[in-house]
Amino acid sequence: MEAPMTPLRRKMIEELQIRHFASCTQKNYLSLVTRFARHYGRSPEQLGLKEVRAYLFYLVNEAKVSYNVLCGHVSALRFLYKVTLNRSWDLDRIPYPHREKHLPVAPTREEILRFLGCIRNLKHRAALMTCYAAGLRVSEVVHLKVSDIDSTQMILHVRQGKGRKDRIVPLSKTLLEFLRVYWKALQPRDWLFPGRSGRPLHIRALQHACLRARRKSGLKQKVTVHSLRHSFATHLLDHGTNLRTIQLLLGHSSLRSTAIYTHVSTKELLSVPSPLDPTDSPS
């Protein structure tokens, strides 16, 4: 059930739009603030810092939400009270949770080819192959248009990726050949991977396709749409591509985000001899 358009909701929408927040972020913030208000059965205007902190405690200890969901609530509530309601709070009292750091999963090239080979749906296989071949986020691949494929210059245009940034990535010859097979079979006109009613393919369709392919392939490790992107970066690093180039290809705003792949790539690490082993040099 959609929340009623109260003056507070209208003001929050205006503030989000003025700051040019992505439409998906706007919807998410509004949904999370609505959940907060329903939890107490009162307008957020009538609630204070004490209730906000108690709600976050509830999310962690009773609802047991994930790290990402908790961060979403924190961001939404910070925006609500700092920007929309203009409360002069110390926002450190609404803290972001400390994140447990895990290295991203990066299947080998052979595992990915085996995984892709288990996808029978031509559209899903083409989309997931694009994620790996170009290192795209799932939101970026579903919003590709046919016109974004430039086979003359062998580049792929990514329009308005994360942070509303455009970028270009090299177009793999193998991917282009498969996309041509896909296009001849389904002949998409506008969106490269269309869904229903002329809209882009839904992200969940690719997530479900990943789950089915992983089960069918027999791979033990978890393979998601995002781990295809991780593999793209890791495999480039293994083949000597410098970190700055990988940063630009991934669309990372900071080299810090890309640097995690130096920990995932094991090629150089495994080449380092142990001091316990004998060496050829004289002592």
Catalytic residues: 137, 162, 226, 229, 252, 261
Distance CA 119, CA 20 (A): 38
What pairs with residue 54 in β-bridges?
A: none
Helix residue ranges per DSSP H, 89-135: 109-117, 122-134
The Cα–Cα gap between 239 and 8 comes to 53
Give the C-alpha separation, 225 to 104, whole Å: 12
Dihedral sign, CA of 199, 118, 241, 150?
negative
The answer for residues whose C-beta is within 8 angstroms of residue 258's C-beta and 6 or more apart is 233, 243, 246, 247, 250, 252
Which helix (H) or strand (E) segment holds residue 157: the answer is strand 155-161
CB 210 within 8 A of CB 112: no
Asked if 243 and 83 count as a contact pair (C-beta separation under 8 A), the reply is no
